[in-house]
Amino acid sequence: MKNRKLLSIELGRISPEQYKTREPSGLVLVLDNVRSAHNVGSAFRSGDAFGVDRIFLCGITAVPPSAEIHKSALGAEDSVPWERCESALEAVGRLKEDGYTVVSVEQTVQSVRLDSFTPEKGKKYALVFGNEVEGIGQDVVDASDISLEVPQQGIKHSLNVSVCIGVILWHFRYLLG
């Protein structure tokens, strides 16, 4: 038999209502001044795929409803809970009070390579991603528990934020189960 693609109905996906009542993963995203609504939509779609509990949309980051977000999210903005915060620092402060380990995905003098980092089962992680040009604000980096960076081989020094979100979430979910 040929290797037939599965039909959407065969994938056994849960409904948006079931997504919101599933067992928490302990993972949340914090978007710090992400300027592209398409990147925000991609964050929702990757967040849905990897089961994040919530997305914090901070600063100038676009919020649903938005045609641009929907174009990339394809409805994931309806399944993944989200919250608007004036600043990422505000979100990070609240998350730290709630027992999250705050992880800035940023190149810093003390950043840890992703391939050298193993998240601990049972811990809650807030993964912070920054603006496409400026990255994460220094105040948020300072408030973080750790900085992670994705090792890269080419001449560029960064990945598109939506690609980076997918890489980081895959790493966490693969190691945490």
The count of other CB atoms within 10 Å of the CB of residue 14 is 13
Closest CA to 28 of 159, 141, 135, 168: 168
Rounded to the nearest 10°, the torsion over CA 92, 98, 99, 100 is -40
Asked if the structure places residue 169 within a domain, the reply is yes
Report the alpha-carbon distance of residue 38 to residue 74 in Å, rounded.
11
pLDDT of residue 58: 98
Tally of domains in the chain: 1
Asked if the structure places residue 1 within a domain, the reply is no
CB 127 within 8 A of CB 103: yes
Report the alpha-carbon distance of residue 8 to residue 49 in Å, rounded.
15
Asked if the structure places residue 12 within a domain, the reply is no
Asked if the structure places residue 82 within a domain, the reply is yes
Asked if the structure places residue 143 within a domain, the reply is yes
pLDDT of residue 41: 98
Asked if the structure places residue 11 within a domain, the reply is no
Asked if the structure places residue 13 within a domain, the reply is no
Domain carrying residue 96 = 22-176
What is the tens place of the pLDDT at every residue in 99-143? 999 999 999 999 999 999 999 999 999 999 999 999 999 999 999
Mean pLDDT (10-residue bins), the chain, 177 residues: 91 92 97 98 98 98 98 97 98 98 98 98 98 97 98 94 98 95
In 3-state terms, what secondary structure has residue 171?
helix
Asked if the structure places residue 16 within a domain, the reply is no
CB 31 within 8 A of CB 57: yes
pLDDT of residue 79: 96
Closest CA to 145 of 167, 169, 120: 120
The structure tokens 């919250």 sit at: 83
Give the list of residues 6+ apart from residue 67 with CB closer than 8 angstroms, or none.
none
CATH of the domain at 153: 3.40.1280.10
The structure tokens 């100038």 sit at: 60
pLDDT of residue 1: 72
